[in-house]
A and B are shown apart, each in its own frame.
Chain A
Amino acid sequence: MAVKAFSNEWAKAFKAEVNNSSTYKAAGKGWKWTVGLVVEAEPDKHFPDAKGIVMDLFDGEARDIKVGPASDAQKCDFVITAPYTRWKEVATSQLDATKGMLQGKLKLKGDLPTIVRYTKASQEMTLCTTRIPVEWPDEK
């Protein structure tokens, strides 16, 4: 059953996908930082308020993934920011996250060598988002 985009149910499904991924488990070995995803508001797409996704990732495991205010996500060690439409493109495989970052479509804050070292883990996390059936607010 589809879950509402960037809702608590979505976060729960995302955490389950990450923890089901043997690829992420191997590629994320040694990772010990929090990651925040900031989804910027786009009222014309029926996404009126910015949201923050806080991911507590540790050594190949998602210990917790929560949805809350954008300000919570901005406090994480690594922060990736993009408007709602961009994140939708990532989650529907229309935009590769690596390319998105190189093109500035997704804005990254944090230690660059660390994030580059874990490229495979971040690519697998992106794939995990694509496996979740989502009800998008602009498609109602």
Chain B
Amino acid sequence: MDVDSRAEVAYADDEPSAFASMLGGLIEANVRSHPEKERDFESLKARVGIWVTDIDEGVTLEFARGKLIVHNGLKPRRTLTIRADADTVMSLSNLKIGLLGLPVYYDEVGRGVALKLLSGKLKIDGLLPNVMTLNTVTRIFSVQ
């Protein structure tokens, strides 16, 4: 389904990295095809860093209420920073969204993500004061 979306995704760098293009493209496709994700996208104001530990690459996602600017690398003043290996980043995109719009952590994918968080293989800086922001980002990010 392709909704009449006003969602706008732009890239801060003249040459976005492959990871930046992939994340930006993923979020744009998600938001354009799911009205509930678009509502989240319209409301979210946050700077979210994602660092992929096993390829030493990252992005900063600057959400500005209906607009997203994707930066290569980690930029200052981030609300949240997610650090994990490539497989875990892909798992985050595969988290199911359950009741009340909360990510599901009790199925196979969810348990895997929770275990990586507990074992320190997935680190989220700024998590405690920004749990709601993380949930919103997860909903926008999820392909399930």
Contacts and interface: CB of A to CB of B under 8 A. Distances in A.
Contacts of A112: 22, 25-26, 29
B18 A102 contact: yes
A136 B11 CA distance: 40
Interface in A89-140: 96, 98-99, 101-105, 107-108, 111-114, 116-117, 119
Nearest to B30: A113
Instruction: Report whether over half of chain B's contact residues are helix, strand or loop; otherwise say mixed.
Output: helix
A103 B58 CA distance: 10
Contacts of A99: 54-55, 86
B79 interface: no
Given A112-B29, A113-B26, A116-B143, A103 B87 contact: no
A116 B86 CA distance: 12
B86 A113 contact: no
Interface residues of B, number: 23
Contact of B86 (A96, A104, A108, A111): A96
Interface residues of A, number: 17
A102 B52 contact: yes
B22 A101 contact: yes
B93 interface: yes
Nearest to A108: B22
A123 to B, nearest CB: 8
A107 B91 CA distance: 20
Contact of A104 (B18, B25, B30): B18
B94 interface: yes
Interface centre among A98, A103, A107, A112 (most CB of B within 10 A): A112
B94 A119 contact: yes
Interface centre among A105, A114, A117 (most CB of B within 10 A): A117
A54 B21 CA distance: 25
B25 A102 contact: no
Contacts of B87: 98, 119
A53 B87 CA distance: 25
Nearest to B26: A112
Contact of A103 (B19, B29, B91, B143): B19
Interface of A: 96, 98-99, 101-105, 107-108, 111-114, 116-117, 119
Interface of B: 17-19, 21-22, 25-26, 29-30, 33, 52, 54-55, 57, 86-87, 89-91, 93-94, 143-144
Given A103-B18, A105-B18, 4 more contacts: A101-B22, A113-B143, A116-B93, A119-B94
10 contacts: A96-B86, A99-B55, A102-B18, A102-B19, A102-B86, A103-B18, A103-B57, A104-B21, A116-B94, A119-B93
